Structure 1
Amino acid sequence: MAHEILSENETPLSATIDIEDGAITLHSRGGTIGSSNERNRDYADALRLILARMLNANVDLLGIWVDSAPTRNLSPADRLILAPGEFDGPFESLFTLLSRRMQKVGRSSTARTARGNSNKRIRIEVANLRKADLGRILSAREVSQGKSQRGRLSAEVLNRVTADFVRQAVFDTIDSGPDPAFGESREYDLIAGEGVRLPPKAVFGRAASLALGFRVLPRHFSAGEGELSFKILRAAGFQIVPKGQAEPEARELSREDLFWAEGDLKRVSHLKKERARGLAAAKRAAFKREHGRLFCERCGIDPVAQYDGPEGEACIEVHHAVAPVAEMNPGHRTSLNDLQCLCANCHRVVHKLMD
Structure 2
Amino acid sequence: MSDQLILVTDDGAHLNAKVELHDLGIILHSRSGTDRNRDYRAALELLMSRLDHGQVAYRIYLDSRPVQRVDLAERELAFDRLSPVGSRFDELVRAMNAGSSSHGAWRRLFIETPGTSQIRLREIIVSKPTISRLPASELRKITTTHIHNAVQKLLGGGDAPNFAASRDYDALTGNGTPLAPKKVFGLAIEEALGIEAFPGHFSAGWGQVCFELLEEAGLWIVPKKEGVSRPKPDADLVKAQLVDFVPTQEERVWIEGNPRIVTHLLRERASGLAKEKRDAFIAEHGRLFCEDCTLDPVERYGPEAGSACIEVHHHRTHVENMAPGHKTSLDDLKCICANCHRVLHRKLALGLSASL
TM-score (norm 2): 0.35
Point out the structure with max Rg over C-alpha.
1
| Structure showing the higher strand proportion among its residues | 1
TM-score after normalising by structure 1: 0.35
